[in-house]
Amino acid sequence: MAHRPLDPRICNISIDANALDRDGTDRDTLVDRLLALYEAGTINLILPKGVRVEIANPNTPAHVQDAAPKIFTIGVGLNSDEQRRKRIIEAELQGNAKLGKHAADADHLFEAAKYGGFFITHDERILKRAGRLGEVLPPSLTVVTLADFLAIFDNWEAKYPR
């Protein structure tokens, strides 16, 4: 049975900082649309705690820093089974990279899985490997790019308008 994403209008959507990046292309319009959906209360965005920390870095673009204070963050505590599953995520994302290099990405993905139905990112490592994490990520979590998320949103809106 194929995975069907949850209705994005009724679940939490976690975002990576790079989901808010503007680059002077059509992607800027997608970022504007995502933030407008959030500000209208149509979707519920959440910044994983580690993403909020990354955004506080002075090298983060101002437009990303400006959007962050408006988005809610949930602190995540982990029980022993969750710590085990997070280590599996970290090992999968690690691949052949330097030890610990992708620990923050594992944190972001785990937090998104704990409280959300979607994780929007443009991190190729996460997008490529998310499917192999089926034993530790819930089937309710869909890892997507911003464009893919908005296509899913539009599909739900077309089928089940409010």
Average pLDDT for residues 2-24, to the nearest whole number? 91
DSSP assignments along 62-101, one per residue? HHHHHHGGGSB-------HHHHHHHHHHHHHHHTTSPTTT
Is 0.75 surpassed by the pTM of this model? yes
May I ask the CATH class of domain 12-157? alpha beta
> What is the model's pLDDT at position 83?
84
155 vs 161: CA distance, rounded Å: 10
> What is the model's pLDDT at position 134?
76
Please give the share of the chain, as a percent, with pLDDT higher than 70. 93
94 vs 141: CA distance, rounded Å: 20
Which of 125, 49, 122 minimizes the C-alpha distance to 90?
125
pLDDT digits (tens, 9 = 90+) for 43-82: 999 998 888 888 989 999 998 998 887 888 877 778 888 8
> What is the model's pLDDT at position 1?
40
123, pLDDT greater than 70: yes
